[in-house]
Structure 1
Amino acid sequence: MKPLVAVLVTATLLLPAAPAGAASPIGLTSGFYVNPDSAPAVWARNNSGDSRAARIQSSIGSKPIARWFGNDANIATIVANYTGAADGQDKLPVLVAYNIPDRDICAGHSGGGAGSVGAYRTWIASFAAGIGTKPAVVIIEPDALNGMDCMTQAQKEDRLGMLLYATQKFQEKAPNTYAYLDAGNAGWTNASTIAYRLNQAGVANIRGFSVNVSNFYTTSESISYANSVNSYLGTTKPFVIDTSRNGNGHGTGWCNPAGRKLGVPAQVGGGAELLLWVKTPGVSDGPCGTAPTTPAGTFNPDLAVRLIDGS
């Protein structure tokens, strides 16, 4: 019996190329989709009398921000409706698949995920099917390849297998989607290790990889890191950068640190294939830093204003 790594790499190399009808989702659309129901937009709408509301809506709620999707039995319908709304406006939606079992197992702030390998495979296949032929960008499982160091070998093998399956499903079921496996950030796993894991997880099957998701490293630092990852991959893959909170660089700490600032809004190019707001500005990293009582994934208007002001 082959070792898991060999099996994963072999499976990756034997997969067919993208379907002949595949097209660039950037070329199929006329700009990025702005979700009218993002957390900052909803907060501003529901708190119009608050002195912070107009600033939050203008600086954050009105901008293209990725929507994160987790453990929902109706994921195919939810994704189909969301990408359909964007398609109806001729806009490009950015989605985040965030449901890997034992999610955030090492850090613990954003725990959860599917209950089993089988449940995840069903979920991610349904996610991809929900997009179908509509144009989209998908970030696959932030932190999943980096947050493995505390896992057992069996858990690591399961995770790599699930991510490989995910890349296969997007290749098969969502031909007009640019999918990117998450590769962490410039201050986390070294480039050679993450490149090895990206290859194991099937990066060859999809468009490329993402860096700096939910972190604060500058665009230039992130470009350097991504280029280093590419130098170890054995092939050059396009990459995208999360610029949502990198306007002042990374500073000290990763959990709601003070002094961070909004970065450049979503655009094509800028040193990467795309610069994106993947993390929603104002959504807490966990009950720590400048929001010690705000759980991970919860919008906090004070965090949002801090990012607007760079304080």
Structure 2
Amino acid sequence: MSTSFASALNAARDAAGAQNYPQGALYVVATPIGNLADITLRALHVLQMADNVACEDTRHTQQMLRAYGLDKSGQQLIALHQHNEAERASQVIDLLRQGKRVVYVSDAGTPGVSDPGARLCAAVQAAGLRSIPLPGASSVTTAVSVAGIVSPDAQGFLFAGFLPTKSAERAAAIDQLATEPRAVVLLEAPHRIEEMAKALAVLGERPVTLAREISKQFEQITTHAAQALPDWFQADSQHSRGEFVVVIHPAPRSAEHDPREQQILELLLAELPMKTAVRLASQITGGARNRLYDLALALRSGSDAQAQD
């Protein structure tokens, strides 16, 4: 065990030990995405008390557990990955029915988010058993938190995961995402990131944030116009190293409003209260409610001024 975590185990027992941890439950635990210090105290406590730990790679997980000073035998570890998830889910359910506490961890981050775990949780739910999530590290939310996404419509973001690996399918997927008004979050491996960058170049000036090696020594987070991404990768071979989170920012909205939006809003304002007219106009046109409300105020002000004349 690293001496850095010796006191963390005691702190975990003190901070989380008094809480209730039901037997016969699956604990879905987020683990660090790079920096071991990003583990939570509750995760450490649950990993200490777990009867079994299901995981993507038993060697990787055993190494992580030993770094924290947690002693689990090989018999307590269950290999559960994308190729055997359905089969191993039955084994986990049998253990839960015996009253065991079973933890599931992916290799890094939050299980079930582009990692195995979703089928396991679905099977546990179908069996009438309980899954308990323990929040923690996530490369998606970590990248989004510093990407500086400014959306005129304040609609959040779309997580699209990994794009297709075949070039034609990837290009078709990007064409579809290009019309998405929200920010789009993608994941990509280092051996495919430059091909993704070339495909994203069709988005022109649209800003794209690249986050690589998050929480690790050589973490790098940078934002460029989509059309400049291929040159950025070509400038330094180090730029393509590490796992990537790619955030495509929302497309800038034109300063001019859509004439159709104004026409529909004018018709609705003639018959309905402003809030109702704005809500219906947003549903009909897909426009942002805040922007339509500002337009409605301008139209109502202009109408009042004409009436006074």
**TM-score, normalised on structure 1?**
0.26
Q: Which is richer in strand?
A: 2
Q: Which is richer in helix?
A: 2
For the pair shown, the structure with the greater C-alpha radius of gyration is: 2
